[in-house]
Amino acid sequence: GAGVSQSPSNKVTEKGKDVELRCDPISGHTALYWYRQSLGQGLEFLIYFQGNSAPDKSGLPSDRFSAERTGGSVSTLTIQRTQQEDSAVYLCASSDRIRNNEQFFGPGTRLTVL
Amino acid sequence: GDSVTQMEGPVTLSEEAFLTINCTYTATGYPSLFWYVQYPGEGLQLLLKATKADDKGSNKGFEATYRKETTSFHLEKGSVQVSDSAVYFCALSKAAGNKLTFGGGTRVLVKP
């Protein structure tokens, strides 16, 4: 079946612009996660959605970062007023309680802020 | 807070050599432990996991044993292949379905 998909695969933007990154989880997965992979910080957790519960936003690095998950499916990560240090690969993952909560990762969106 | 420490790479090996990647963790309670692999140009994939002390996870010839006394989860493979060249990440989660805390990753290069 279809895996986790993310779009765009690459995004180049200018400092100060806003960007939106999209994640389509595996159908039926109730949990959705965003992570960031950067040279300086490694792989770090950003935000986690589980069903209709309030999201765990504890990993968001600043208030310029926000995320939504509409209808319990697709999620959008928004970065406002991008900075060069936001350059990274943004990874999305989803999981399903029935399959022991294994997280399946998407291919990522490579964000470059000039 | 919780953390995972793994040996820095790159690790360069010849085919059929023995591979060990050390991983230690700091966490309260009883986390689940994971090894993820990222092959060149591909996304992160779960390689193996262990959910309680003394459990051994295994997959594709790789093994790792959850050692609570040493807070470790070292990854081993007896005979590596060129196709095992990848970046390996050790990770933990505090509860089922919870967020993952990753180590820094170890790049492994296997030469023919």
% of chain A beyond a pLDDT of 90? 75
What pLDDT does residue A98 have? 67
Any A CB within 8 A of B98 CB: yes
**In chain B, % of residues over pLDDT 90:** 83
Q: What is the pLDDT of residue A99?
A: 63
Among B43, B97, B104, beta carbon nearest to A95: B97
Smallest CA-to-CA distance from B40 within B102, B101, B110 is with B110
pLDDT digits (tens, 9 = 90+) for B8-56: 889 999 999 999 999 999 998 889 999 999 998 888 999 999 999 999 9
B16-20 contact pairs (CB < 8 A, 24+): B16/B79, B16/B80, B16/B81, B17/B79, B17/B80, B17/B110, B18/B76, B18/B77, B18/B78, B18/B79, B18/B80, B19/B75, B19/B76, B19/B77, B19/B80, B19/B84, B19/B108, B20/B74, B20/B75, B20/B76
Q: Binning pLDDT at 50, 70 and 90, where does residue B97 land?
A: low
Rounded Cα distance, A107 and B91, in Å: 19
For residue B28, the 8-state DSSP code is S
Query: What pLDDT does residue B66 have?
Result: 97
What's the whole-number mean pLDDT along residues B77-104? 92
pLDDT tens digits, one per residue of A3-48: 999 999 999 999 999 999 999 999 989 899 999 999 877 899 999 9
Name residues whose C-beta falls within 8 Å of residue A107's C-beta, 6 or more positions apart in sequence: A5, A6, A9, B42, B43
Q: What is the pLDDT of residue B8?
A: 86
pLDDT at res. A39: 82
- Nearest CB among B42, B44, B45 relative to A91 is that of B44
Say what the pLDDT of residue A86 is: 96
The Cα–Cα gap between B28 and A46 comes to 21
- Give how far A48 is from chain B: nearest CA, Å: 7
State the virtual CA torsion across B10, B76, B105, A93 in degrees, nearest 10: 140
B97 and A97 within 8 Å at the Cβ level: the answer is yes
* CA distance linking residue B105 with residue B88, whole number of Å: 5
Sign (positive/negative) of CA torsion A112, A70, A46, B99? negative
Q: Is the pLDDT of residue A51 over 60?
A: yes
Under an 8 A CB cutoff, do A103 and B98 touch? no
pLDDT at residue B109 in the model? 97
**B46, A103: Cβ pair inside 8 Å?**
yes
Q: Give CA angle at A108 (B47, A48), nearest 5°.
A: 80
Cα three-residue angle A88-A94-A98, rounded to 5 degrees? 160
Query: Does the pLDDT of residue B91 top 70, yes or no?
Result: yes
Percent of chain A beyond pLDDT 70? 96
User: Which of A 29-88 lie inside 8 A of B, CB atoms?
Assistant: 31, 33, 35, 42-45, 48, 50, 56, 59
What pLDDT, on the 0 to 100 scale, is given for residue A2?
A: 81
Question: Is the CB of B41 inside 8 Å of chain A's CB atoms?
Answer: no
Collapsing DSSP to helix, strand or coil, A9 comes out as: coil
Chain A interface mutation, best of B3, B33, B44, B49, highest count of A Cβ atoms under 10 Å: B44
Q: Does B53 touch chain A (CB under 8 A)?
A: no
Q: Which of A19-28, A98-107, B70-79 has the lowest mean pLDDT?
A: A98-107
Chain-chain contact of A97 with B45 (C-beta, under 8 angstroms): no
Across the range B82-89, mean pLDDT stands at 96
Q: Is A101 on the interface with B (CB under 8 A)?
A: yes
pLDDT of amino acid B96: 64
